[in-house]
């Protein structure tokens, strides 16, 4: 079976894949054997897919799906769901502790050479945390928060599988009940018609003025102009965005200089990061073996749900 790798995997990973009996690994797009590709691993585009008439599976390295319009509906697409849970959850926990101890403000004052000891520091024990998204990322994040004594709530598409460390689950339709109580609102949702623009001005104004908003899911979940509007009115003690509506973030975006906003360039879930790489490759190797053996694949994407 020919597998075309369309990403720069580490040499040891390529060697491990090459040792799997029955696999023929190709990494050069000019290789004439590409026409016989049955599995495409990594990035895809219409031109590439059209050159692979025998394609039977696309294995993504991301936790989401993105635009799949260039892949025929009959070809299954699998992602690396679950591989990012621990790495991104640690990122989120770091951000939570950072805001509770006011590190962004101290860093800004350091740049301005201001010696001010009046900045408040907060305990994490008893803090109410709401995870909007209860997949591998949101669930692992709340698990870590619960270990530090935080009060955990979650939002998922349907009410099922409530972990013992979660006090209560809500749906997208009922989460406004808990929003006014949450000290941290953390978004890890996939992009779907239901989540696009879900956090807009009216919803922001239902939240605590001194709440912290963090988004590591999809930038489309947050209406940026509305966020900036409410922040000018005093909302939010802090905001951390790892994802934005438009990426790369334009140089003229007000987010770059907005007070109380911390930005990272969509790196919490980079598959190339040491925090995530081996876990992602583990999913890839498992699915290739399953495909060879004719077994059900892990994490195939439901195109109607978009995840």
* Catalytic positions, written as ranges: 218, 247, 266
- 3-state SS, residue 98: helix
Q: Which residues contact 108 (CB under 8 A, 6 or more apart)?
A: none
| Cα(38)–Cα(299) distance, integer angstroms | 18
267: left (phi over 0), alpha (psi -120 to 50) or beta: alpha
| Cα(6)–Cα(70) distance, integer angstroms | 15
Strands in the chain per DSSP E:
2-6, 24-26, 39-42, 57-59, 77-78, 128-132, 151-155, 168-170, 184-187, 212-215, 238-241, 261-263
Q: Which residues contact 186 (CB under 8 A, 6 or more apart)?
A: 92, 96, 129, 130, 131, 132, 133, 138, 141, 214, 215, 216
Length of the chain: 307
| Cα(217)–Cα(52) distance, integer angstroms | 31
Number of Cβ atoms within 10 Å of the Cβ of 166: 22
| Cα(286)–Cα(300) distance, integer angstroms | 13
């Amino acid at each position: 079976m020919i597998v075309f790798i369309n990403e720069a995997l580490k040499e040891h990973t390529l060697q491990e894949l090459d040792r799997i009996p029955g696999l023929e690994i190709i990494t050069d797009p000019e290789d004439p054997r590409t026409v016989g590709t049955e599995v495409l691993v990594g990035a895809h585009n219409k031109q590439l897919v059209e050159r692979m008439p025998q394609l039977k599976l696309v294995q993504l390295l991301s936790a989401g799906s993105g635009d799949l319009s260039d892949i025929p509906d009959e070809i299954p697409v699998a992602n690396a769901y679950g591989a990012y849970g621990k790495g991104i959850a640690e990122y989120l926990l770091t951000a939570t502790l950072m805001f509770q101890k006011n590190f962004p403000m101290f860093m800004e004052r350091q740049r301005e050479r201001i010696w001010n000891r009046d900045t408040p520091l907060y305990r994490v024990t008893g803090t109410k945390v709401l995870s909007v998204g209860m997949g591998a990322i949101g669930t692992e994040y709340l698990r870590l928060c619960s270990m530090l004594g935080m009060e955990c709530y979650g939002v998922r598409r349907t009410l099922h599988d409530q972990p013992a460390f979660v006090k209560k689950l809500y749906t997208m339709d009922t989460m406004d009940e808990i929003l006014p109580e949450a000290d941290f609102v953390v978004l890890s949702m996939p992009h779907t018609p239901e989540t696009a623009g879900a956090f807009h001005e009216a919803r922001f104004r239902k939240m605590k003025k001194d709440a912290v908003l963090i988004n590591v899911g999809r930038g489309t979940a947050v209406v940026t102009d509305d966020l900036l509007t409410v922040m000018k009115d005093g909302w939010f003690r802090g905001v951390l965005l790892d994802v934005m509506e438009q990426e790369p973030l334009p140089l003229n975006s007000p987010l770059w200089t907005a007070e109380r906003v911390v930005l990272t360039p969509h790196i919490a879930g980079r598959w190339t990061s040491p925090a995530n790489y081996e876990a992602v490759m583990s999913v890839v190797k498992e699915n290739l073996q399953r495909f060879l053996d004719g077994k059900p694949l892990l994490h195939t994407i439901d195109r109607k749900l978009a995840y």
